[in-house]
Amino acid sequence: QVQLVESGGGLVQPGGSLRLSCAASGNLWRVYDMGWYRQAPGKQRELVADIRDSGTAHYADSVKGRFTISRDNAKNTVYLQMNSLNPEDTAVYSCNIDIIERGAVITRAYWGPGTQVTVSP
């Protein structure tokens, strides 16, 4: 019953900006870590950024200083503000949220469907 819905992907020129959103809904009880991953064709999936319930954030070296992750706990939503985009940022971006469902006793990692980000002149 838990579902993640992503938005904000698209085509942008080098140096441009995009803001990704991922909202969780459904049978939620507790929401913990939230993160964004990306995977380019022929490349390994990598963690872009994550943010814990405490607010502590971590970034991949390749995006540090350009991307900012944030969360709105009241809306069960995580955001990724991406600035100074370059062609190497082109990938499918997927959100991941650790959730304890109502009635459950352990966490489960939920994934969004993925949203395409393309950076090209």
- Using pLDDT thresholds of 50, 70 and 90, give the confidence band for residue 30: very high
Give the pLDDT of residue 26. Answer: 96
When pLDDT is averaged across residues 67-83 and rounded to a whole number, the result is: 97
Give the pLDDT of residue 29. Answer: 95
Tokens 């994934």 locate to 111
When pLDDT is averaged across residues 23-47 and rounded to a whole number, the result is: 96
Structure tokens, 94: 């997927």
Pure H helices in the chain:
none
Asked if 73 and 115 count as a contact pair (C-beta separation under 8 A), the reply is: no
Backbone torsion region of residue 76, taken as left when φ is above 0, otherwise alpha when ψ lies between -120 and 50, otherwise beta:
left
Please determine, for residue 1, whether its predicted confidence score (pLDDT) is greater than 90: no
Asked if 7 and 20 count as a contact pair (C-beta separation under 8 A), the reply is: yes
When pLDDT is averaged across residues 17-33 and rounded to a whole number, the result is: 97
Please determine, for residue 24, whether its predicted confidence score (pLDDT) is greater than 90: yes
